[in-house]
């Protein structure tokens, strides 16, 4: 993988650089570090970047450091336009209430403007990822997200909980009434439509030598994903983002941003064509 990390001297950027460095050690062949020189930056951030670059090079990873003045969001998008990255890692303050909308504006700008997967690092500092929550819906786009999750989880030695949110009402006339209250294991045993999907996604994860389980919740998608993610047992979330230029694509992008703003932990939004 080719990964873009950055630092602008802020504490949020430092947390992002720390976690991004750990992920890069497990997955990357090439790493670029963008050093954005803000007026209030200090020499500590420069030392942090140099130390991170040296540590990654010591692992046999090619590292290039770019130093540019300006605003972080603009420089991140400019760099993402210039290079075809597999992953961008950015730090976010992870504030709550109205402040989260302002604090998340930079992350939202990168999510909306960069044609690649983005890991937004929020919450407490995490030096290691051991448990991952990922979300799955029917369709090829969901398979892309699960394959990305499998690849990353295997590299990090993490386990995966796969969440699937079902409607509380039957979507088909012939739907089995018990499906509306059944657990994931029961859906798979009965070969229900959702059960077949869950079994296929678990097969992808386990084929990647990843310990995985499926969980089903019922209700509104965003609300149920956020409710599951608030369980502090998960070190990271992985969700998909659709970028098709139509109404459905815009709605999907908005949903991923809603989840990103609400969840106070690292969240990876997988880019899909």
pLDDT of residue 175: 53
In the prediction, which pLDDT does 128 show?
A: 84
Final residue before a domain boundary, out of 121, 149, 176:
121
Per-position b or e across 250-263, b if 16+ CB within 10 A of its CB? eebbebbbebbbbb
pLDDT at 47: 86
Q: Verify that 115 and 38 share a domain, yes or no.
A: yes
State residue 17's pLDDT score.
92
> Do the Cβ atoms of 1 and 27 come closer than 8 Å?
yes
Is 273 contained in some domain? no
User: Residue 11's domain is classified under what CATH number?
Assistant: 3.40.50.620
Cα 243 to Cα 252: distance, rounded to the nearest angstrom: 8
The helix-helix angle for 43-58 and 11-27 (nearest 10°) equals 10
Asked whether residue 126 is assigned to any structural domain, the reply reads no
- pLDDT for the residue 44: 63
How many whole angstroms separate alpha carbon 7 and alpha carbon 13? 5
| Domain co-membership, 141 together with 108 | no
- Residue 237 is predicted with a pLDDT of 94
Ranges of residues in the chain whose predicted pLDDT is under 50: 97-103, 169-173, 243-252
Q: Could you give the number of structural domains in the chain?
A: 2
Q: Could you report the per-residue pLDDT of 230-252, keeping only the tens digit for each?
A: 767 899 999 987 544 443 443 44
Within-domain flag for 51: yes
- Look at residue 186 in the predicted model and tell me its pLDDT: 87
Range of the domain at 86: 2-121
Closest by CA position to 142, among listed 111, 165, 176, 121:
165
Among 54, 86, 121, identify where a domain stops.
121
Bridge partners (DSSP) listed for residue 118: 88, 269
Asked if 13 and 105 sit in the same domain, the reply is yes
Residues 135 and 116 in one domain: no
């Amino acid at each position: 993988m080719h990964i873009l990390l950055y630092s602008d001297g802020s504490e949020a950027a430092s947390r992002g650089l720390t976690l991004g460095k750990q992920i890069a050690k497990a997955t990357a062949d090439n790493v670029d570090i963008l050093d954005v020189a803000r007026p209030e930056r200090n020499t500590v951030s420069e030392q942090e970047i140099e130390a991170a670059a040296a540590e990654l090079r010591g692992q046999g990873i090619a590292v290039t450091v770019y130093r540019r003045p300006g605003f972080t969001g603009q420089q991140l998008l400019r760099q993402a336009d210039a290079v075809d990255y597999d992953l961008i890692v950015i730090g976010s303050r992870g504030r709550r209430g109205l402040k989260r909308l302002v604090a998340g504006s930079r992350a939202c700008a990168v999510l909306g403007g960069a044609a690649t997967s983005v890991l937004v690092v929020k919450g407490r500092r995490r030096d290691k990822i051991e448990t991952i929550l990922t979300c799955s819906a029917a369709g090829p786009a969901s398979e892309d997200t699960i394959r990305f999750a499998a690849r990353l989880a295997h590299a990090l030695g993490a386990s995966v909980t796969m969440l699937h949110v079902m409607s509380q009402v039957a979507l088909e006339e012939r739907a089995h009434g018990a499906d509306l209250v059944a657990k994931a294991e029961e859906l798979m045993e009965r070969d229900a439509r959702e059960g077949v999907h869950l079994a296929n996604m678990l097969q992808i994860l386990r084929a990647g030598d990843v310990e995985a389980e499926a969980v089903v919740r019922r209700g509104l998608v965003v609300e149920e994903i956020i409710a599951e993610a608030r369980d502090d047992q998960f070190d990271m979330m992985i969700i998909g983002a659709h970028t098709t230029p139509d109404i459905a694509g815009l709605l999907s992008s908005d949903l991923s941003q809603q989840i990103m703003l609400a969840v106070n932990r690292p969240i990876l939004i997988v880019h899909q064509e």
